[in-house]
Chain A
Amino acid sequence: MNNPKIAIKHIIIALVTFIGLFILIKGFSFLAEDLFLDPKKYFGVELEATEINIFLINTFIIIVSVLISYIVYLLLSSNTRAELITSIRTKDLYVSLEQLRGIYEGAPVPYITLDKKGNILDPNKAALRFFGVVSEEIEGKNLFHYQSEEDLEKAEKLLQYYKSDIPINREEVKMITKSGKVKWSLLSVFKMEGPTKMDRAGLATIFDITEEKELDKAKTEFVSLASHQLQTPTATIKWFLGTLLSGDLGPLSPKQQDYLERIYKVNNNTIELVETLLNISRMEISSITTDIKSVQVPLIIESILFELGAQIESKQLNIIKEYNNNLENIKSDPRLLRIVVNNVLSNAVKYTPSGGTISITLKESFGDKSIIISDNGVGIPENDQNKIFSKLFRADNVRKLNEVQGTGLGLYLVKSIIETLGGSISFVSKENKGSAFTIKI
């Protein structure tokens, strides 16, 4: 027992009960003795006051007395026991409340308790730091009005969500601080349930993601800069080499011709690699933001065929278009979908020998919209089929094709993009017979 006052109380109760018990027993004993000495006085009958009878009655009286005393003891001490338990529980509760308070106050994440209308009741230190204010400046003001004016519509929507008990989970918002600085944040607001009606109705947490956003912007700018800075020189090299190789500026020796052709090929591989790497970094850096709008698939295919025109012509490939459904008004991201179709279609062009056939089928069945691109090209060896979507993988048979260079990144990119868009890609293929890729949008 860790409380001396309560211990003393228990001892006193026990003593009092014992004394009471003693007096009770004695009282009953005197009465019993008197009863057996002169039974006629009480019952009007003669009773034989044997030693055994007196012993039995005395024993019975003692047992009853003990039981009664115990009940009295329990009744008398119940209050103090309750007091003891309450005291322990209260202390525990106080400790955990203090701990909770400490966690709330000292947490590095801004926490703000809100009333039912979204007004700020109790911001923690991180929240004050976030807004650059002292608590008096912010208490009582509506949290949702701290969003940037460009985002008024969203602020109003979130406030309505809050009032209608719809949870707000990691919504990207722009918060305004006292100094007018815009901070990108992830706002979450949870309802606080309580046994009684409480003023505190919600708990808001704010994650400051301004740094990530700025980093993201810097990276996107870098990618855009790099694309210009890397692609322009490779294009320049290609054009100068092309001019030299064409013989326009005079004849070349066979050795010169050979070397320039080699440089030309290496440069083309670099161009392809730069393009794919840029697309991949765009995907990975921009944390895959999609811009969904109405897309006309045939238009995308036409523009890709237009770009591949020179290769298709020089290899004399037959292009067959079977449009069972025109897919003219589908919802997708045109830029990303174009990268997907472009990769698959240019693979078909690359890996189909001269005079081969490439079919492009558009169809819709059971709500699935698909683009199927099939060819009668080199195909994918069975052993390699489960690896073709891995990063940097190239199948054995195409590695041996010296005239066709690849980065091993194209289908990896395709798969990650199409899955981001909520679609899928699959294929059937047989080596030396051809491949058919199905892109489900």
Chain B
Amino acid sequence: MTDKNNKKILVVDDDENLRLVLTDKLSREGFKVLEASNGKEGLETALKDHPDIILLDVMMPIMNGLEMLKLLRQDEWGKGIKVIMLTVLENAEFVAEAVADGSFTYLIKTDLDTEDVVKKVEEMLNK
């Protein structure tokens, strides 16, 4: 079992409500939660605080999730960081890539509950 108290999760989403419900849930589960409201902020926070896992929205203003992921992968530390993309749109190429890559997966927001997100986070952290 993961020691949640030592695990930092970064939630990057431009929707304040979704961010609130997710960070609330994850905090109650015992994770330390960091927040950002767009890709640019998310990238800065990630590179500064080195979270254990990033929950990343796809469509965001200023810098979207896919751009942030691309830049993150260029960083020595960011290369291996586990990322769960949160999306409302399925994109076949990105889906195929996510299935093939162990450090990267995706979840469709409308298919899930916060419980499922927590489960997925734990599953990824234990990998």
Contact = CB atoms under 8 A, between A and B. Distances in A.
Interface stretch (B22-30, B33-41, B67-75): B22-30
A238 interface: yes
A338 B113 contact: no
Given A236-B15, A299-B96, A231 B88 contact: yes
Interface string A221-239: 0000001100110111011
Closest 6 CB pairs of A and B: A334-B92, A231-B88, A242-B113, A235-B109, A271-B110, A239-B21
A227 B89 contact: yes
Interface of B: 15, 17-18, 21-22, 24-25, 28, 59, 88-93, 95-96, 98-100, 108-116
B24 A243 contact: yes
A364 interface: no
A335 B88 contact: no
A240 interface: yes
A266 to B, nearest CB: 14
A48 interface: no
A303 B93 CA distance: 11
22 contacts: A227-B88, A231-B89, A231-B109, A235-B88, A239-B22, A239-B112, A240-B17, A243-B21, A243-B114, A246-B114, A248-B28, A271-B110, A299-B96, A300-B92, A300-B96, A303-B95, A310-B112, A334-B92, A334-B96, A335-B92, A338-B90, A338-B92
A211 B35 CA distance: 44
B18 A232 contact: yes
Interface in A296-316: 296, 299-300, 302-303, 306-307, 310
Given A246-B115, A303-B96, A238 B25 contact: no
A248 B96 CA distance: 35
* Interface of A (DSSP majority class): helix
Nearest to A271: B110
A275 interface: yes
Nearest to B29: A248
Interface in A276-313: 296, 299-300, 302-303, 306-307, 310
B67 to A, nearest CB: 16
A390 B92 CA distance: 27
Contacts of A307: 108, 111
Contacts of B59: 228
Contacts of A236: 15, 17-18, 21
B96 A232 contact: no
B21 to A, nearest CB: 4
Nearest to B108: A307
Given A228-B59, A243-B25, A307-B108, A238 B113 contact: yes
A242 B24 CA distance: 12
A51 B18 CA distance: 134
Contacts of A232: 15, 18, 88, 109
A231 B21 CA distance: 16
B124 to A, nearest CB: 13
B95 to A, nearest CB: 5
Contacts of A300: 92, 96
Contacts of A227: 88-89
Contacts of A242: 113-115
Contacts of B113: 238-239, 242, 246
A238 B110 contact: yes
A235 to B, nearest CB: 4
B58 to A, nearest CB: 9
A238 B111 CA distance: 9
B64 to A, nearest CB: 11
Contacts of B110: 231, 234-235, 238, 271, 275
A296 B92 CA distance: 11
Contacts of A334: 92-93, 96
B83 to A, nearest CB: 16
A338 B59 CA distance: 21
Q: Which of B15, B96, B111: most chain A CB closer than 10 A?
A: B111
Contacts of B21: 236, 239-240, 243
Given A236-B17, A296-B96, A334-B96, 11 more contacts: A228-B59, A231-B88, A231-B89, A231-B110, A238-B110, A238-B113, A239-B109, A242-B113, A243-B25, A246-B115, A335-B91
Contacts of A238: 109-110, 112-113
A310 B111 CA distance: 9
Q: Which of A235, A275, A307: most chain B CB closer than 10 A?
A: A235
B32 to A, nearest CB: 18
Contacts of B99: 299, 302-303, 306
A243 B113 CA distance: 8
Contacts of A299: 96, 99-100
Q: Which of B21, B22, B100, B115: most chain A CB closer than 10 A?
A: B21
